[in-house]
């Protein structure tokens, strides 16, 4: 896992961490609510805010460096335990002969249903959602729930940071003095404001996708996906209802044979 840290995403991850802690430092050095709490000896809010920022950074590296659900190849399973072979069998159930497995045109692996090849990662990813340049990693079956959790924590951190930065803005008799006194805070407001909007939009989108048991790839490219072409525009063969979808998304931590669910739902519909 750690070797991935030194690939192309190293610059992106380093910039993210530096920007995060520089913004946090600005909030503590200026006369903001956090600084006032420190001066009064009330350390609860500063400690909670620092812990929230630290948690967001840890979750960022978690979703950035973990395996998103790469499809196993023959070379991946050689010399591994029996569990690896069982996982491969779960990914491609052989008894479902009515479904033809699609062979990837790039890595020539048999793709389980809902998998897609990522040209950036050069691997096929199970339950592919999208490749995120922000984390320089794919979002797939294994890390999608962690990505959504990261968005929740990140939104809480940046929205709190935005409110804190605004509380430190002071008035001055001239515009020049005002900009000189609030310049760094204005930068913090700009960073946290932009991130608040972007993260909130992403959070809403992925909460909807999780509740509907669909992915960004399936939602945006439905007309190009073979197993969805025969469904109605509003039909999702993997949808089990909002509660069951959210339960499976957050609580089921295993490889899912989507072929079995697809056949069961399509046969029931027919």
User: Helix, strand or coil for residue 73?
Assistant: coil
Q: Give yes or no: 10 in active site.
A: no
**Which distant-in-sequence residues (6+ apart) come within 8 Å of 260 by Cβ?**
93, 96
Spatial CB neighbours of 154, under 8 Å, sequence gap ≥ 6: 56, 59, 60, 195, 199
Cβ atoms of 125 and 110 closer than 8 Å: no
Please answer whether residues 179 and 11 qualify as being in contact, where contact means their C-beta atoms are separated by less than 8 angstroms.
Answer: no
User: Which one is catalytic: 37, 104, 118, 132?
Assistant: 132
What count of Cα atoms within 13 Å lies in the side-chain half-sphere of residue 246? 8
- For residue 269, give Cα distances in angstroms to 113, 222, 244, 265: 19, 19, 19, 6
**For 233, which DSSP code?**
T
Give the whole-angstrom CA distance, residue 242 versus residue 209: 10
Going from the C-alpha of 53 to that of each of 81, 156, 203, the distances in angstroms are 39, 9, 17
Long-range contacts of range 115-119, CB-CB < 8 Å, 24 or more positions apart? 115/71, 116/217
Catalytic residue numbers, as ranges: 132
């Amino acid at each position: 896992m750690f070797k991935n840290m030194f690939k192309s995403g190293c610059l992106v991850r380093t910039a993210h961490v530096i920007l995060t802690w520089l913004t946090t430092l600005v909030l503590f050095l200026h006369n903001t609510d956090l600084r006032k709490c420190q001066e009064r000896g009330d350390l609860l809010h500063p400690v909670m805010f620092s812990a929230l920022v630290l948690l967001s950074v840890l979750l960022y590296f978690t979703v950035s460096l973990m395996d998103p659900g790469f499809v196993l190849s023959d070379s991946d399973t050689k010399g591994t335990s029996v569990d690896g072979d069982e996982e491969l069998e779960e990914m491609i159930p052989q008894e479902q002969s009515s479904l033809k497995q699609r062979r990837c045109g790039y890595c020539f692996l048999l793709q389980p249903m809902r998998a897609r090849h990522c040209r950036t990662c050069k691997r096929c990813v199970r339950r592919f959602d999208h490749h995120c340049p922000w984390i320089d990693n794919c979002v797939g079956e294994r890390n999608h729930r962690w990505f959504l959790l990261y968005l929740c924590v990140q939104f809480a951190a940046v929205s709190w940071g935005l409110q804190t930065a605004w509380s430190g803005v002071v008035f001055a008799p001239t515009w020049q003095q005002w900009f000189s006194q609030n310049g760094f805070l204005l930068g913090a407001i700009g960073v946290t404001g932009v991130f608040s909007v972007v993260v909130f939009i992403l959070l809403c989108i992925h909460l909807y996708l999780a509740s509907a048991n669909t992915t960004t790839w399936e939602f945006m490219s439905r007309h190009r996906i073979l197993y969805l072409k025969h469904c109605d525009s509003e039909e999702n063969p993997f949808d089990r209802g909002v509660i069951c979808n959210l339960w499976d998304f957050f609580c089921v931590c295993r490889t899912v044979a989507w072929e079995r669910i697809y056949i069961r739902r399509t046969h029931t519909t027919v």
